[in-house]
Structure 1
């Protein structure tokens, strides 16, 4: 396998982000709250805003995007960011690409002097829970509906995601409850 590199997308990379995001939505529609149909019609201005609204990290192999994750602020006062939108091209799954993306996201958070990284994972997605746990994320009791339109169906475990947390500070046991609400 050719080396995988990870880089942050800049203002001029909105098309790279658009293309990998739409590919992710088409290939793994159940993994995201949005759909390819919803986002396909977004105009250039919206994509330009989206690429800068959060830090977008892309994994590349031979210059071609093969994975993506976003890092966004959750609580500036508590110094918390979250990873979201993680996706890896199916032919490269299980080969360390997701690990490199999450590692880059955590390192970005550490450089930005954050205290915690949250990662919301579907409660029925054993592979994702195992992956996050092996990286060092810890499960919490915090749950939320995966899709807003399904929020009334609180009893459906297939629709829930849980917050997993990766502490970056010196006290890995201290996670303020405000971070998880």
Structure 2
């Protein structure tokens, strides 16, 4: 039939800074063809400057950013395009805003030992989010509730293993091989 659209999928890779959201989301995107977006790129210059200065955002500063992310997913849904988006999505209320975009949003929570993630943050270069904000993120983190669609993966695994586990656990189809038989 012509004009029928395949159902779209919208995955938000969530967790504290340094959990590996971007690495895992990009890996999933490459293997599945889901359209990738980095939530950090949706922040206003003022928000970035504030975080760079080591001052956490308050909820009032986050709402417009979260609504923009939900809108981006909704627009892709309207185009028939599935997405994978990185976003800390630390609180249930933040995830509720993201769910106001497309009809369904699934979450992939990358979680793990604070020491491991802090070590990664200390080694990271070129990112505006300083390691000093890690504790504020951990303090507000609300884990997925049983009624929220999603899975939790332990970040101690290698990036390749996390990507493979996410694709399997979320039952995401792999992209057709380009130039294959």
Q: Give the TM-score normalised by structure 2.
A: 0.33
Q: Identify, as 1 or 2, the structure richer in strand.
A: 1
Q: Identify, as 1 or 2, the structure richer in helix.
A: 2
Q: Give the TM-score normalised by structure 1.
A: 0.33
